[in-house]
């Protein structure tokens, strides 16, 4: 039996949190992994997630509570929820600190780089838009844009977020092979640099390329242009086999921004396979499950209205 729509919503958000939490100790090499274990925020003894889940949870709650997002309110909610020991990107941390102290996001979002950030920080939190507006591309696209630029004004940062939202909404319905799924996303996106990366993965077809090759050809850094295609490839390939553990082993072996690639891939995996395909022994260890579940249910109800 294919998963219900409600199971897919929960699957996408829990898949994101699990991918993030399982990947976190591997991000940025052994030293930062060790530091995360030692001084990272979160509930001790649990599988602790990072900024990816933190921002996605706040966004999910925001979307569940209203018919359309309010970017000014959302910017303050993100800023107030920021815990610096959750592993935020350096640019985002600085911007959110300034927003928390009362500055308007429009005055700060290009203050570090003139074009804004092209990190993957907007893409990592874009899954809820794919769930909320899975049938309405225009609304999905509009709200991804209006909220991504709060912290990520660079076109590549925003394009990466569109792709993750589109991939999650497609995964809710599609039962395609990984190459067909990636090709459909390439056809939908207007962003040339992303199209090239996606087509690279499409050309591999059903070949099980190694993590080292995927990392070398797609990239796996904090830049959206690298980690978004890598996550879409891993998510699509392993969702076909309902193999979440295999997906995480592959992502850990690729290296780089492991937690965020895990989060993005996990959100696509969960939207396609449902919460029942996530490893139960890891799910019980996850921190803040009740809050995440409530947020998923509210978003589901809102999108069903
Ligand atoms: N020009 C040059 N370098 C850039 C530019 C630019 N326009 N934009 C970003 N970078 P940031 P994020 C580089 O700081 O995207 C966390 O682990 C620059 O080195 O905006 O929110 C999250 O979980 C910058 O510091 O953060 C994500 O995994 C970096 O890209 C990850 O970090 C990241 O951009 C990125 O989070
Ligand atoms: Mg990260």
Looking at every residue in the chain, the average pLDDT score rounds to 96
Q: What is the whole-number distance in angstroms between the Cα of residue 257 and the centre of ligand 2?
A: 6
Mutation test of ligand 1: which of 89, 226, 263 has the most ligand atoms closer than 8 Å to its C-beta? 89
Q: How high is the pLDDT of residue 33? A: 78
Q: How high is the pLDDT of residue 238? A: 98
Q: What is the whole-number distance in angstroms between the Cα of residue 127 and the centre of ligand 2?
A: 15
Task: Encode pLDDT of 70-129 as tens digits.
Answer: 999 999 999 999 998 899 999 999 999 999 999 999 999 999 999 999 999 999 999 999
Task: Encode pLDDT of 127-139 as tens digits.
Answer: 999 999 999 999 9
Q: How high is the pLDDT of residue 27? A: 83
What ranges do the domains of the chain cover? 5-303
Atom of ligand 1 nearest to the CA of 120: 15
Task: Encode pLDDT of 74-88 as tens digits.
Answer: 999 999 999 988 999
Say how many Å lie between the first and final Cα of the chain, rounded: 25
Q: What is the whole-number distance in angstroms between the Cα of residue 305 and the centre of ligand 2?
A: 33
**Ligand 1 cavity residues, CB under 6 Å:** 50-52, 87-92, 113, 115, 117-121, 124, 154, 222-223, 257, 260
The whole-number average pLDDT for the span 19-24 is 97
Q: How high is the pLDDT of residue 271? A: 98
Q: Which CATH architecture has domain 5-303?
A: Orthogonal Bundle (1.10)
Atom of ligand 1 nearest to the CA of 51: 23
| Among 27-41, 113-127, 212-226, the least confident range | 27-41
Mutation test of ligand 1: which of 91, 112, 155 has the most ligand atoms closer than 8 Å to its C-beta? 91
Read off the pLDDT band of 28 (50, 70, 90). confident
Q: What is the whole-number distance in angstroms between the Cα of residue 259 and the centre of ligand 2?
A: 5
Read off the pLDDT band of 37 (50, 70, 90). confident
Read out DSSP for 234-302? Answer: HHHHHHTTT-HHHHHHHHHHH-SSHHHHHHHHHHHHHHHH-GGGS-HHHHTTBTTHHHHHHHHHHHHHH
Cα(163)–Cα(161) distance, rounded to whole angstroms? Answer: 5
């Amino acid at each position: 039996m294919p998963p219900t729509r409600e199971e897919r919503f929960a699957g996408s958000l829990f898949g994101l949190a699990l991918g993030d939490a399982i990947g976190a100790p591997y991000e940025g090499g052994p030293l930062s992994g060790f530091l995360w274990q030692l001084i990272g925020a979160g509930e001790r003894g649990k599988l602790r997630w990072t900024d990816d889940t933190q921002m996605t949870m706040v966004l999910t709650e925001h979307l569940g509570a209203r018919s359309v997002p309010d970017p000014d309110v959302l910017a303050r909610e993100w800023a107030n929820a920021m815990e610096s020991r959750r592993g935020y990107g350096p640019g985002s941390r600085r911007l959110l600190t300034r927003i928390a102290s009362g500055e308007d996001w429009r005055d700060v979002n290009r203050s570090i780089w003139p074009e804004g950030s092209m990190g993957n920080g907007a893409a990592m939190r874009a899954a809820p838009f794919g769930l909320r507006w899975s049938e309405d591309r225009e609304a999905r696209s509009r709200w991804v844009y209006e909220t991504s630029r709060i912290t990520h004004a660079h076109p590549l940062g925003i394009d990466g977020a569109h792709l993750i939202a589109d991939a999650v909404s497609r995964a809710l319905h599609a039962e395609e092979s990984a190459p067909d799924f990636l090709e459909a996303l390439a056809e939908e996106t207007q962003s040339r640099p992303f199209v090239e990366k996606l087509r690279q993965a499409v050309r591999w077809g059903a070949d099980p390329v190694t993590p080292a090759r995927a990392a070398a050809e797609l990239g796996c850094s904090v830049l959206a242009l690298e980690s978004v295609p890598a996550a879409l490839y891993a998510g699509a390939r392993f969702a076909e086999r309902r193999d979440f553990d295999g997906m995480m082993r592959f992502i850990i072996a690729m290296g780089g921004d492991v937690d965020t690639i895990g989060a993005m891939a996990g959100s696509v995996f969960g939207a396609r396979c449902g919460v029942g395909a996530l490893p139960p022994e890891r799910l019980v260890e996850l921190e803040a499950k009740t809050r995440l579940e409530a947020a998923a249910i509210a978003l589901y109800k809102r999108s069903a209205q």
